[in-house]
Structure 1
Amino acid sequence: MRILKASDQPSIKRSVDSGTNEQRATVKTIIESVRKGGDQALKAYSFKFDGVSLENISVTEEEKMEAYKKFNEQNLSVIREAAANIRLFHEKQLRTSWITTDENGTILGQKVTPLDSVGLYVPGGTAAYPSSVLMNVIPAKVAGVKRIVITSPPDKKTGKLPPAVLVAAQEAGAEEIYKVGGAQAIAALAYGTETIAPVDKITGPGNIYVALAKREVFGDVDIDMIAGPSEIAILADDTAKPNEVAADLLSQAEHDRLSCCVLVTPSEALAATVASEVEKQLALLPRQEIARESIENFGAIYVTNSMEEAVQTINLLAPEHLEIITEHAMSLVGQIRHAGAIFIGRYSPEPVGDYFAGPNHVLPTNGTARFSSPLNVEDFQKKSSIVYYSEKALKDHGGKIAAFARLEGLEAHARAIEARLKE
């Protein structure tokens, strides 16, 4: 890994979100085709991109039951325990409606309403991501969403979804599941087909075509975020174990060739040892080729003059995942302003949050932790303001409201108030 000074303008930004002109054109064509062709277009794209000929895009009850039969009992227990942890964490985020009253009869408040329907995209094809299912479905269920739809690309060999995905979906409480992936799935969720009714919001990560499709349909439906490749920053001092730091960096590098892995430390000795350790461990990784490209292109170790400068560097990076592995790790948390998720201490490596601890692993990437948050229950709710003025309240304040309207040159607004004051 490259060892640099923190003064070398550290960054985790990668120009990947906007795609190429060809990719954007392809996505627009797919979306328009699905809007016009419905189920037939979905099946045609499944054959073209996934090599799967589907008679029925819906996951059948038989397929759901078959998934449980094929699923290991021990893994089922793990999924259930993880789901319980995730549910418990998100229940603490739940917001409810509220009302306040004033002596003059004014009633103000906020009505919190769950969305009617959401579509959750689960990446797949050659891999299974039951963790993505749990992290998207459970907060929606906690929020009170009645209709939760899952779409995921089918396996090229079987034409079915992986048992782990189907089991996780049912354990989390989602029953409406479709064997559709890519930009065509996003189009179906946004605009509907003969089989798939449209939804109000789409969440979940995917490849560049999925990301571009989500961006394209935004406005007709809501989306969670444009998720970029994974990233990790580790803030460490001499007390950190180099082999553990290297392993944590590689845990993100194996995700994607565009993943970003950064160590920030005031220790030159740790920097040098970690760089050497990364090379050793890379040679033994099954996904070595992917991880190596990530490390070479988007990996770096930044050496700072002090821990204070190291913290400033972390806030500049605004990483998706931040691990703090220092002698007094908890004391630094208050100084962190920008990070999607913060993992504190040696025994809290990032995979703990990926799968089991409870907080959501759908996190802001590419520096957007400066202004955005992890996926949460409020993402599946909307809020309506409640305003009630009594006759006395309007008489008390009507003149001021009319004056404010005229300040903006809106005479009809002022007259709407004064029409009631005259009576």
Structure 2
Amino acid sequence: MALELIYNDLLDKAIETEVGKVAAHATKNYNRVSERASLIDAFAAELYTAFVAEQTHQTMLKSVAKHRYDTALKKKAISVIQCNARKLCKMQEERRQRREEIELTSFKAPSLKRLLSAGKNDSPAKRRASVNMSQVNLTHEDTSERQEQMKKLWQPIDLARFVQSCAAGVKMIADDGAVTLNSIIVAENWDCPYSKWLSAKLSLKASSDKTHLVNEVTSDGLSVSFRSLPKLNFINEQTFRSTPFLVLECGLLEAKQVETHKTFEHKLIRDGGILSKLTQISDRYSYYKVQILVLVWDITGSDMPIQRQCELLHTEELVKADNCVQDIRICDMSSDASRVNEDLQKALLSMGENFTGKLSKRGIHKRAEIRAKSRNVTPILEEPEPISKQVESSTSTLKAKEDEILRKARSCKDGNT
């Protein structure tokens, strides 16, 4: 009986163990299958969503592309129709003018129909078309003239003439056989359209290091480097040392500067301070007397007199002061295109003609130093005097000394007597 109980107990435990293992394995398999199924469902849903989104996107792209294509096609068709209509109207107008010329030159009077069509009984639409056609013809006739004016407006200045006029009255001597001068162009913002125009007129290009704009012109042994001030470290002795010319833009009051400077007069007062600062820098470093050309942009249309502009810029005080300023010129840039070109070129040529290479105090002092150093150096290529000249000079010296001794002896003898 006890053996049977033990046997049954062991059997129950073995069955429970095996059943637990089988149940755990079955549960694990069920969970794995369920998880796999849920992942598959999730991926399927994502793929379906992505597919639908892609199809929707492609459909939208096709719709937008078709709409833009249709719009562009319509615009092109409308432009072609307008162009053809203008051509037809122009041809019709030319035919009408030819018919009128023929009728005027013939002795036959025009018919009543012609008189009525050309008179004041025309419909408003016809009269409007006639006016528009005359405007179109006028525009076509003025196109070439307008293009020619724009070409002249942006055509670069012949800076070689300026350099030639500088070299005309100056005796140039340099150790390396070349003389290089600087002409500094000062603008507040080179991205401004007016400053871009000035850059185009002077043919300024970006330097190799991209720090400033430069254009070097050489003629008759003289080289003038037209350059803008670099954005950083613009107070450079090397730049201002050989600078007899300064060109400064003043009074340029753009829309974004109105809040700061208010009026053209306030802008000129501020630019007068810049002019004074440039004068101080030139007086400190320049070896030459400096000519300053001030380009006044009165784009606000204030019509301020030149005398008042000079007062605000203090040009008279700067010229009369004991500094390196030789002359200050004011060039009004608010006139029409032809006058602006002519005035700017005349002002530059006048500066070149008045350049004589006159030195400033610093330049005179530097020249004295160079001459003093050159006197202390023995010339290497100096040729010795001939022997005959040396003998003649020594003989004349001895004879002069003998005559002097004889005169002294005679004077002493006369005194004793």
Higher relative contact order (CA 8 A, sep 6+): 1
Q: Whose strand proportion is higher, 1 or 2?
A: 1
TM (norm. structure 1) is: 0.26
Instruction: Flag the structure with higher helix content.
Output: 2
TM-score by length of 2: 0.26
